[in-house]
Amino acid sequence: MAGLALEGVGRDYGATRAVGRVDLAFREGELTALLGPSGCGKTTLLRIIAGLEPPSRGRILLGGRDITAMPAHLRRFGMVFQSFALFPHLNVRDNVAYSLAISGTGRAARHARADELLDLVRLGHLGDRSISALSGGQKQRVAIARALAQDPEVFLLDEPMSALDAKLREEMQVELRLLQQRLGITTIVVTHDQREAMSMADRIVVMSEGRAEQVGAPQEIYDRPDNAFVAGFIGRNNFFDAVAVPGGLEADGYRLALEPGPAFRPGSPVRAACRPERIRLGQDLPEGNRLPARVVFVRAIGSERDVHVETPLGPFVVAQGSGLQGGDGIAAGREVALHLPPGALQVYPAQSRPREVA
């Protein structure tokens, strides 16, 4: 297989455009996460890839072959559903062996394959158990084993961790990633959880309002967001309005240097952002790019803390890490100074506003 490609794929429901025109290439053996808030079209896009929804426009290519009109049962992409969708009338082994049973594989052969897959997901001892007697994590593993039984060319997962508790979710993220790397299968995971996407994916597709806003490696997207939406959705950020000036920005009378300089015409209104962990606070700050601030709240979590401050440009959050020394006098009500490093400032067109992200 030479990978999966989407060319201008979109989906409309009457007058509502769920997915605009998406062009994406999924590389063979990679795990790609479709990440975005609820209603951004990521699940619809996954369902189009699986053949469960017909696209309103565009083409889907698998190894260069057009499979747009191919029904789901002929594509045979393994898929794990949000609810796991395990068949309640079959036991664990027969669930895993379902695709082999309907394709006419003999009983002994399909049971052997099912047991092999159950061993792979560490459930080899539960083959005879009823689905209703499984825990959430076990159900998810059965769903994964079942989707892999037909040796799919593409492995699709729709919010696979959403039904699991936080601890189990983190364990399963690692387990799923290790399994995917071992099998080398092209995998697409839909999630709204940026931590899940960042910890599992080779590449992330950040989606919003039916569009792919940015495609890239997790760290690349975090360090260099293409627009204010991505900057606000991936990780935390402090946003403020400014005007582009030669070599930097001007915001509420404060001049801030940028490295490299802004790619905006001087006088253009812009939206600037700075990650909380890149802001410096307190004594011995470098010259320039300073703002006066008043501490309004300190949220301390062990050796780390978030300092919420009020500045002339609006509220900022400053994240201070493990090198923190006690007794530096940072407390609510204290007047301090902030330093926004020139290389940490990101600048976007003024009309692109980040969406509130929980």
Nearest to 31 by CA among 226, 206, 190: 190
**Rounded Cα–Cα distance for residues 37 and 18 (Å):** 13
Distance CA(35)–CA(192), nearest Å, equals 5
Q: Are 188 and 34 in contact (CB under 8 A)?
A: yes
Query: Which of 36, 55, 78, 127 touches another protein (CB under 8 A)?
Result: 78
- Please tell me the total number of residues recorded for the chain in this structure: 358
Residues 140-179: x/- map of binding to another protein (CB under 8 A)? ------xx-xx-----x-----------------------
Judge whether 155 and 78 are in contact, CB under 8 Å. Answer: yes
Say if CB 191 and CB 33 are below 8 A apart: yes
Can you tell me which of 1, 63, 66, 83 binds another protein, judged by CB under 8 A? 83
Q: Are 52 and 44 in contact (CB under 8 A)?
A: no
- Owner of token pair 């057009």: 66
Interaction between residue 71 and another protein (CB under 8 A)? yes
Phi and psi angles of residue 332, each rounded to the nearest 5 degrees, phi first:
-55, 135
Name the phi and psi angles at 122, rounded to 5.
Answer: 60, 40
Nearest distance from C-beta of residue 51 to another protein, angstroms: 8
Interface residue with another protein among 1, 2, 69, 72 (CB under 8 A) is: 72
| One residue of 34, 45, 50, 188 binding another protein per CB under 8 A | 50
Instruction: Judge contact between 258 and 250, C-beta under 8 A.
Output: no
Nearer Cβ to another protein (51/262): 51
Give the binding range for another protein (CB under 8 A) out of 56-64, 81-89, 224-232, 287-295.
Answer: 81-89
At 12 the three-state DSSP class reads strand
- Compute the least distance from the CB of residue 50 to another protein, in Å: 6
Q: How far is the CB of 141 from another protein (least distance, A)?
A: 15
Closer to another protein by CB, 132 or 325: give it. 132
* Gap between the Cα atoms of 233 and 191, Å rounded: 13
Query: Closest approach of Cβ 191 to another protein, in Å?
Result: 17
Six-digit token pair at 306? 């978030």
Nearer to another protein, 53 or 196 (CB): 53
CB nearer to another protein: give 46 or 340: 46
User: Which position among 51, 210, 232, 248 is part of the footprint of another protein (CB under 8 A)?
Assistant: 51
Among the listed residues 25, 67, 70, 85, the single contact to another protein using CB under 8 A: 85
Verify binding: residue 14, another protein, rule CB under 8 A: no
State the residues that interact with another protein by CB under 8 A.
50-52, 71-79, 81-83, 85, 87-89, 98-99, 101-103, 146-147, 149-150, 156
